[in-house]
Structure 1
Amino acid sequence: MAHSTLLSCLLTPYAVPVLLAAYFVLPYLSQAHLFAIPSPFPAAFTNLWLFYQCRRGRRFTAVHHAHQKYGKLVRIQPNHVSVADDAAIQVIYGHGNGFLKTEYYDAFVSIRRGLFNTRDRNEHTRKRKTVSHTFSAKSIGQFEQYIHSNIELFVKQLNTICQNQTDPRTGYASIDALNWFNYLAFDIIGDLAFGAPFGMLAKGKDFAEVRKTPDSPPTYAPAIEVLNRRGEVSATLGCLPWLKPYASYLPDSFFSKGLEAVSNLAGIAIARVNERLKPEALENNTRVDLLARLMEGKDETGATMGREELTAEALTQLIAGSDTTSNTSCAMLYWVLRTPGVVQKLQKAIDDAVPAGIDVPTHAMLKDIPYIQYVLQETMRIHSTSSLGLPRQIPFSGSPIEICGHTFKPGDIISVPAYTIHHSAEIWGPDVEAFVPERWAPERLTTRQKAAFIPFSTGPRSCVGRNVAEMELTNIVGTVFRNFEFVIEQKHAMETREGFLRKPLGLNVGVKRRQHA
C-alpha cells in the first residue's frame, strides 16, 4: 500500500515541481546559520549560479559586484561564503588552521593528484616535502640558464620581426604581444619542467606533442589553447564536481572540448616525460632543471616518485608556470604602456643598472632595481591573474570559527576573493583603480597592504614556485624594456576571460628596436 501511494505521488503533475523544490530548498534549509548572509539569487539555493558565472568566464566580476552590493560577506553557493575582508586571509589560508581544500579541486585531477589538487593534508605534506627542494635557492640559481637562453631567442625573434615587418608609415611592426609572451613562457617552462623547450619561439607557432600513454603514437595539439580550455572547463566543473563524468554528453560543446583538452594536456606531459626518461637521455643528462630535481626528490621514507607521480607533478609545474607568466607579462605591458611616465622610469632604471652592450641582462643585474619590482607588484595587484577566491572547508572535526562577526560551522566553505581584495579602496586608497607602481615604495606601503597582497596565495598551500616566477618576470621586464619600444595599436581596453586564471584575450601593439648604450 505504501509503495503504491508513493508511486501515485510520483506520477502526479505536482511531482516535478515538488522534487525540484526539495532539491533546491533542502540544501538552503540545512544551512540555517547562513540565512543572514546575503546572496545574489539563486546562489543560496543552488550551485548553478556560480557554475553559470564560471561558464561565462566572469566569476571574479560577478563575485566582486556582489560584494559591492551586499558587503564583506556574500553567499555564493548554498554552503560557500565569499569573505571580502583582508583580516580573514590568515584565518582561512594561514599555517596551522587545519582548513581543507574542497571538492572543487577534484575537477582539476587528470593523471593523478598532484601538489595543487591533493586534498588530503598528510599526502600534501609528503608531496610538498618531496618537491620543496626543487625550489631551493641553489636550484633556482641553476634554472636561470634555461630562462636566459629562451629570452635570448625571444629577443632575436622580435628583432627579426622589427627588421622585416616594420610599417614605414609608423616605424613599428605590428604583433599580438600575448602570442609572443605565450611562446616565451611555454618554452621556458618546457625547458625547465621537461628538459627542452616546446619550440614555439623558434617556429612562431603554438604546438606540442601529445601521447595518451608512454607507448602510444604521437599526435599534436596547440598547447596554449589546450591549457586555456582545460582551465575554463575545470574551473566550471569545480562548482559541480559530480557532473565531470557526464559533462562530455552535455549539448554545450564547451564541456566536450574542454574535457578533450584535459586529456591532451595530460598527454603533453606524458610525451615530454617519456622523452626525458629514455635510457639514452638519462645516461647523457647533465641538466639541473625542474624535472631533474623532481626525480631526485625523496619523501620522509626516502622514496622517490614513480613515473606516474613524476608526470603528474611535472604537469603541475607546466600548468603553474606557463600562462601565469604570460598573462602577467601581457598585462604588465598593457598597464605600463597606458600609464604616462612609467616606460621612461623603467628604461632609465634598467639602463643605469645594466652594463653597456648587454641586450639580455642577468637576474643579478636586475634583481636589485626597485622600480622593476614596483611595476611587477602593481601589475599582479591590478590584474590579479589568480582572481577568484580559493575555497577552503572548515573540517567536520573542527570547531566553529568567527569571521566578520559571523560564526561559521564545521563543513562550511569560505574563501577570500583575490580580485576584490586587490581592488579594495579601503585597503589601497582612492586611486585603487589606477596603475601606480610607486605605491610599492617602502615608505608608502602599509603593513596592511603588504599582508593583503596575495597573488601567489599564502600559507601552506601557497605557490611553491613563487621565487622562480618572480625571477622569470624580472628578467622579462628588464629585457623587454631594455631592447624595445612599444605603442598600443588597439583602440579598446585589453579584454580578459577567466578560467581558473584571468587571462588576456590579446594585446595588439607596435614594436620597434630600441637603441641603448
Structure 2
Amino acid sequence: MLLLAFLSPSLLLLLPLILLLRPYLRNRSLRHVPGPPLARLSSWWLLYQARRGRRYLAVDAAHTKYGPLVRIQPNHVSIADLDALPVVYAHSGGWTKSNYYTAFVSIARNVFSTRNRAEHTRKRKVVSHTFSAKAIAQFEQYIVSNLKELVKQWHTLSDKATQVGEPYADMDVLHWFNYTAFDIIGDLAFGAPFGMLSRGRDLTEVHLTPNSPPTYAPAIEVLNRRGEVSATLGCLPGLKPYAKYLPDPFFRNGLAAVENLAGIAVARVNERIQAQENGMPSRNDLLARLMEAKDENGESLGRAELTAEALGQLIAGSDTTSNTLCALLYYSTKTPGVMEKLQKEIDEVVPDNVEIPNFDTVKELPYLHMVINETLRVHSTASLGLPRVVPPGPGVTIRSHHFPPSTVLSVPTYTMHHAPAIWGPDAHEFKPSRWSPGTITEAQKAAFVPFSVGPRACVGRNVAEMELAMIVGTVAKGFEFELRERGALETREGFLRKPVGCRVGMRRRARITGD
C-alpha cells in the first residue's frame, strides 16, 4: 500500500524526468569538488532551493561550509573567488550562457535569453545603441512626468493623514516603487505608462495574441510569479514541458504568468505598430529605437523578435529598479544618520521649490551614489551566480582545479558582495561610508558586480542608473519617512531577489514649499 501511495499518478509523471537525470549521475572530473550530497547527484537540490526562494542563501551557506569551490549541480560548480570573475565572464574565449536561460524564453529568444554567441552579438548590436549615454538623455522627460505623478499621489496621501490627525500616512512603499518603475518603463518601452501610479493599483491590459480580446492582469504579481517559476525551472530545463502537470500549483500558476506577461508586451507592441501604420507621429523612446534598428544586413527586427526584446526591457527595467529603491529606503531609514545626510546633500543643490531634480543635478552627488552602491551591494538584487559554460578546447583552471569543456561555472553575486575577506568584518552591515573616495579597494571594485560583468552584462545599466538617481533625489528631497517594518527586510528570490514588502510612515517634508 505504501508503494502504491508513493506511485501516485502525479508522481508517475516524474518518471520520464528521472531518466533525464541519468547523464548527471556521473561526472568524474568534478568528483573532488565538495558540495551538498544531493547536489552532487542531481539538479533537484538546487531546484528545491530555488522553489523556496532561497537559492542565494543556500549557495552562500554551502560556500561557508565547503569553501570557495562548491558543486551545486552535478555539472555546475559555484566559485566564490575574485580570480574567477574575469575568466567565467570573459569577453573572449567562446563562453556561452548555460541551458538555465532556456526556461526564460517567451515569444522568442531576446538579448537576455539567447545562448548562441553570434545571435547574441547581432541582438546586442541592435539593442545597445538604444541605451547609449547620448540616447538615454532623451528619456529623462518620461521619467520626470511619472515622478510628477508619484509626488502628486504622495502629497494626497500625506494631506489626508494630516486631516485626520495622523503625523504620517501609513503605506507599503514597495507597492509605490513598483507602480513607479512599471509606469516609467511602460512610458520608455511601450509609449505610455501603465497607469498604476494614477490608479494606485497593479492592473494592466493583456492580449495573449495580437488579435485576441483584451483581459486584465496584475502585472507586478505576474512578473513576480514569472521570475520565480522560470528561475526554478532553469535549474532543470527538461522539467519545463511537464511542469504544468505537477501537483504543486506554483508551477501551473507560474507558467500562466509567463503567458500573461508576454500578453502585456504583445498588447503594447501591437498598439504601437498599428499607430505607426495609421500615420500617428512617433515618439523618441525605447520601442521607437528598437523598431528603427537594423542589423548588419540591414534587416529590422521581426514582430516576434521586437516583442520579445520589448518584453525583456519591461522585465529588466521594472523589477530591478523597484527592488533596489525599496531596499534603499529601508536601509537608509533604519541606519542612523543616512537619510539625514542624504537629504542635506540634495538640499544644497536642489532649490526648495523644485520637486523633481534633473539628472544633471544629481548624477554626480557623491553621497547619493555611495548610498545607491551600498544598497546594490547589501541587497544584491541579482544575488545568484549567473551560469556560463566552459567553451570547447583545453578547459580552464581556477584555484588549481581544472574544469573541462561543457562544465557549468558561476560566481555567486551575493556571496561576493558579502565576503568578509573582501569587505571586512562588517560586510553584512549597511555602511555607505565604505564607498568614500580613497577608501574603496581595488578588490572591492572588482567584486562589485550588481549589473554583472563581461559581454552579457546588463545592457540597460545607463537607464537604471539615471532612474535610481532621479527617483532617490525626488523622494529624499520631498518626503520624510518613519520605518514601520519590524525586523530584517524579508525577501524572496526568483531570478532577482525581491523584498516582500516594506511598511513605512510617509509625510511631506515641512521645508518643501513647491506644490
TM-score band by shorter chain is over 0.9
1:84 and 2:80 aligned = yes
Alignment of 1:88-487 (within 5 A): 88-166=84-162, 171-279=167-275, 283-395=279-391, 397-487=392-482
Partner of 1:12: none
Shift of 1:132: 1.1
Contact 1:132 1:464 in 2 (8 A): yes
The separation in 1 between residues aligned to 2:465 and 2:120, in whole angstroms, is: 24
Unaligned runs of 5+ residues in structure 2 are 1-11
Shift of 1:97: 2.8
| 1:287 partner amino acid | R
Shift of 1:358: 0.5
Q: 1:59 aligns with which of 48, 55, 59?
A: 55
SS in structure 2 opposite 1:220? strand
| 2:156 partner amino acid | T
Shift of 1:279: 3.7
Contact 2:328 2:372 in 1 (8 A): yes
SS in structure 2 opposite 1:322? helix
TM-score by length of 2: 0.94
Q: Deviations over 1:475-502 (max 9, x none)?
A: 0110001000001112232100000000
SS in structure 2 opposite 1:293? helix
Shift of 1:424: 0.3
The separation in 2 between residues aligned to 1:339 and 1:298, in whole angstroms, is: 48
SS in structure 2 opposite 1:277? helix
Moved >4 Å (runs of 4+): 22-29, 166-170
Q: How many residues align?
A: 498
Contact 1:483 1:514 in 2 (8 A): yes
Contact 1:81 1:413 in 2 (8 A): yes
| 1:434 partner amino acid | E
Contact 1:27 1:78 in 2 (8 A): no
TM-score by length of 1: 0.94
The separation in 2 between residues aligned to 1:285 and 1:160, in whole angstroms, is: 34
Contact 1:27 1:45 in 2 (8 A): no
Q: Name whichever of 347-356 and 140-149 sits farther off.
A: 347-356
Contact 1:482 1:516 in 2 (8 A): no
Contact 1:24 1:45 in 2 (8 A): no
SS in structure 1 opposite 2:287? helix
Contact 1:64 1:419 in 2 (8 A): yes
1:35 and 2:21 aligned = no
Contact 1:83 1:416 in 2 (8 A): yes
Shift of 1:447: 1.0
Contact 2:491 2:499 in 1 (8 A): yes
Shift of 1:139: 1.2
Distance 1:23 1:275, change over 3 A: closer
Contact 1:139 1:288 in 2 (8 A): no
| 1:462 partner amino acid | A
Unaligned runs of 5+ residues in structure 1 are 1-15
Partner of 1:11: none
SS in structure 2 opposite 1:244? helix
Shift of 1:94: 2.1
Q: 1:47 aligns with which of 43, 48, 70?
A: 43
| 1:118 partner amino acid | T
Shift of 1:246: 1.2
The separation in 2 between residues aligned to 1:302 and 1:25, in whole angstroms, is: 44
